[in-house]
Amino acid sequence: MSAEILIIDDNADIRLILNELIKDAGYKTRLAANFNQALTEIDKKLPDVAIIDVKLDKGDNDGIQLLDHVKKKNIDIPVIMISGHANIEMAVNSLKSGAFEFIQKPFDKERLLNFVNRAVENFNLKNENKNLNNKLFHSFELIGRSSNILSIKDQIEKLSNSESRIFLNGPTGTGKELIARKIYKNSKRNTGPFVIINGALLDTKKYELELFGEEKKDGSITYGALEKASRGVLLIDEVTEIPLETQSKILRIVIDQKFKRINSNHDIKVDVRIICSSSKDMSGEIKNGNFREDLYHRLNVFNIKIEPLNKRIEDIPLLLDYFIENICKTYNYKKFTIKDNNYLLNYDWPGNVRELRNLIERIAILSPGDDNEKIITIIKESLSKSIKDNFSITETLSIPLREARESFEKEYLVSQLNKFSGNISKTAKFVGMERSALHRKLKLLGVKDLN
């Protein structure tokens, strides 16, 4: 479907030139000759791209008012501002107000058409990203009944409508990005963009370019993550990987609420909610000089800690049911059940929830429905370690049976206690012992209270 461009200019010759140029490029057009006509056209139906003259019939900057009007209705619509009375201040003000590009009359036709093509691509890309994000929101939920997950759900509800900065801390694969997206979706900023920048994946020389953008000598602009996330949410994933020099600049942005693009002297005001995440121990990173303590305290207004999956074993059965239902429905696979969960409950899950989800998808692809034997085989082959792998057969063969049994029991019970965060009642129920009997066994094996 061809994109629609709204042309707003009080000069009839300019409207005619733009109309023919853009139609010849294969786009649809609508025209407005003054401020009131423009308002009517915008309110009647939003275009895919707008071209607006800075000065119309209502005043020196009535085009900027129209720009603001478009952005309030849909921040993603690219607006190209044009003017025959241009100066640097006017161009800067237009871009600060959210203009996609600024061009001076008389304009080069090829250059303006290039701006239009890029604007259409930008709008289409944002729509595609929104559709993907919506699918993600509908496809994945925060599943679990552990105290950690219940607490996180409560925090999401309370924090979503605030503007406070949030720090998410937890191992890789626990769902930090999903939590950030849930906060965004439930917030007042959910009509704005959700932008992710991953500190671990960036070239160390490009951190500032990715964050702040750049003004080039030819006048073109590369927009950074801070501007792309304007009026929305910016997730800085693995923030500890960002160099200390850049960390100091992020600190100034958090304090002053403004920044400069590379090669620019103009301040740009920040209107973005920042959420940061890390899979590392922050106290250790600060102690070792890898992360600024003052920046951490600024970013860590609210902290959400996500426990590894092996510390919330009660969530595994719910996650199994959820992923089986979700994956089979999404990809039209034959639904199946896992009749024996022992391997899954005793596995250490170094890849956390992501690893569990990948396993279920692998089973759905490789297993012909409810073939339990085949499912167990896939699980055994897929999971590189189980609890039994923690015990060296060579070592246990060299000691008496009683010592080997005690060694196994001690390792096994300590592992289960860790999974249930030291809760004796939950551990006893899972291993099939009375609470008092478990206490006696732990005392006999020399296992101290983990709480």
Residue listed under structure tokens 């058409």: 113
* 298 and 320 together in one domain: no
Residue 426 lies in a domain: yes
| Whole-number Cα distances in Å, 448 to 299, 414, 422, 443 | 37, 9, 10, 7
Cis peptide leading into residue 47 (ω within 30°): no
* CATH number of the domain to which 333 belongs: 1.10.8.60
d(CA 117, CA 228): 18
* 51 and 193 together in one domain: no
Angle between helices 12-24 and 109-139 (to 10 degrees): 60
* CATH number of the domain to which 423 belongs: 1.10.10.60
Contact 442, 423 (CB under 8 A): no
* 326 and 216 together in one domain: no
Residue listed under structure tokens 């699918």: 135
Residue 175 lies in a domain: yes
3-state secondary structure of 8: strand
Q: DSSP H helical segments within 140-289, as ranges?
A: 147-159, 176-185, 207-212, 225-228, 244-256, 282-287
Taking Cα atoms as reference points, which of 180, 274, 192, 184 lies closest to residue 231? 192
Residue 381 lies in a domain: yes
Contact 210, 224 (CB under 8 A): yes
Q: pLDDT tens across 356-365, in order?
A: 998 998 898 8
Q: Which amino acid is at 144?
A: G
Query: Dihedral (C-alpha) 437, 441, 444, 446: value to the nearest 10 degrees?
Result: -130
| Whole-number Cα distances in Å, 345 to 213, 316, 328 | 47, 7, 22
Question: Phi first, then psi: what are they for 392, rounded to 5°?
Answer: -85, 115
Residue 131 lies in a domain: no
Give the domain-ending residue among 387, 418, 434: 387
* 159 and 266 together in one domain: yes
Q: pLDDT tens across 111-129, in order?
A: 889 999 989 988 887 776 6
> From first to last of its 451 residues, what are the pLDDT tens digits of the chain?
578 999 999 999 999 999 999 999 999 999 999 999 998 999 888 899 999 998 888 766 688 889 988 888 888 899 999 988 766 777 777 887 788 988 888 888 888 899 999 899 888 877 766 655 555 444 568 999 999 999 999 999 999 889 999 999 999 999 999 999 999 999 999 988 999 998 877 776 788 888 998 887 766 777 889 988 988 999 999 999 899 999 999 999 999 999 999 998 888 888 999 999 999 999 999 999 999 999 999 999 999 999 999 999 999 999 999 999 988 887 788 889 998 788 888 888 988 998 999 899 889 888 767 788 888 888 888 875 444 444 444 444 445 556 666 666 777 787 777 777 778 888 888 777 888 888 888 887 777 665 5
Beta bridge partners, 215, equal 221
Residue 136 lies in a domain: no
Sign for the CA dihedral angle at 265, 220, 94, 61 comes to positive
Give the domain-ending residue among 364, 387, 410: 387
d(CA 345, CA 430): 10
| Domain range enclosing 269 | 147-307
Using a 10 angstrom Cβ sphere, with 0-12 exposed, 13-18 middle and 19 or more buried, the burial of residue 434 is: exposed
* CATH number of the domain to which 231 belongs: 3.40.50.300
d(CA 399, CA 305): 42
Taking Cα atoms as reference points, which of 372, 286, 357 lies closest to residue 316? 357
Give the domain-ending residue among 291, 307, 323: 307
Helix (H) or strand (E) holding 214, with range, is: strand 213-215
* 292 and 207 together in one domain: yes
* 186 and 212 together in one domain: yes
* 286 and 176 together in one domain: yes
Taking Cα atoms as reference points, which of 238, 206, 241 lies closest to residue 224? 206
Contact 81, 54 (CB under 8 A): yes
Number of domains in the chain: 4
Q: pLDDT tens across 322-334, in order?
A: 999 988 887 788 8
* 382 and 424 together in one domain: no
* CATH number of the domain to which 102 belongs: 3.40.50.2300
3-state secondary structure of 233: strand
Enumerate residues 6+ apart whose C-beta is below 8 A from 411. 390, 391
* 296 and 155 together in one domain: yes
Residue 132 lies in a domain: no
Residue 216 lies in a domain: yes
* 184 and 198 together in one domain: yes
Residue 407 lies in a domain: yes
Q: pLDDT tens across 247-297, in order?
A: 999 999 999 999 999 998 888 888 999 999 999 999 999 999 999 999 999
* 383 and 416 together in one domain: no
Sheet containing strand 194-198, edge to edge, reads 194-198, 233-237, 273-278, 166-169, 302-305
pTM of the model: 0.61
* 293 and 315 together in one domain: no
Enumerate residues 6+ apart whose C-beta is below 8 A from 185. 137
